[in-house]
């Protein structure tokens, strides 16, 4: 995958591949994905200054600790925990972007879902041979 510098790639957790994510990082681009629940990591820094009224539950800097994952992605990552009231679920986002706030990370991912819904609507309602 060729990454465009400063682009933000929003992807589902099914696509979490630390080698590919590290290539995005090395290309000076950014990604936001859901983290897998089995992801092993060490918290390097914990931001306790979050406003839970925004539904944020965590904002952390982490380092991967799984033998394979830490080799494939040796840099620190940003983890954001967000409570989704509609689904009554805690969502955990993973990004290499330390320049945006935790709330912006959650909003970026929510916008990714809107795009998914839009494409699903197109597929169901329009007759398009090629997209």
**Domain limits, the chain:** 8-125
Question: Would you place residue 1 in the very low, low, confident or very high pLDDT band (cuts 50, 70, 90)?
Answer: low
Comparing 15 with 41, the larger pLDDT belongs to 41
Residues 6+ apart with CB under 8 A from 112: 10, 11, 32
Q: How far is CA 89 from CA 45, 81, 86, 101, 118, in A?
A: 24, 10, 8, 21, 23
Lowest-confidence region among 8-12, 108-112, 125-129: 125-129
Q: Global pTM?
A: 0.84
The residue with tokens 């699903």 is 120
- pLDDT above 90: residue 114: no
- 8-125 CATH choice from 3.10.180.10, 3.40.50.80, 2.120.10.30, 3.90.350.10: 3.90.350.10
- Quote the CA–CA distance of 14 and 34 in Å, as a whole number: 9
């Amino acid at each position: 995958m060729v990454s465009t510098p400063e682009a933000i790639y929003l992807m589902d957790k099914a696509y979490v591949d630390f080698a590919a994510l590290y290539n995005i990082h090395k290309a000076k681009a950014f990604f936001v994905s859901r983290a897998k629940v089995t992801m092993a990591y060490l918290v390097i820094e914990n931001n306790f200054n979050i406003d839970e009224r925004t539904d944020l539950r965590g904002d952390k800097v982490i380092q991967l600790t799984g033998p394979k994952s830490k080799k494939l992605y040796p840099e620190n990552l940003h983890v954001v925990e967000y409570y989704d009231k509609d689904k009554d679920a805690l969502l955990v986002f993973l990004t290499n972007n330390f320049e945006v706030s935790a709330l912006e990370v959650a909003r970026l991912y929510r916008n990714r879902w809107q795009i998914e819904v839009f494409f699903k609507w197109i597929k169901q309602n329009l007759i398009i041979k090629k997209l």
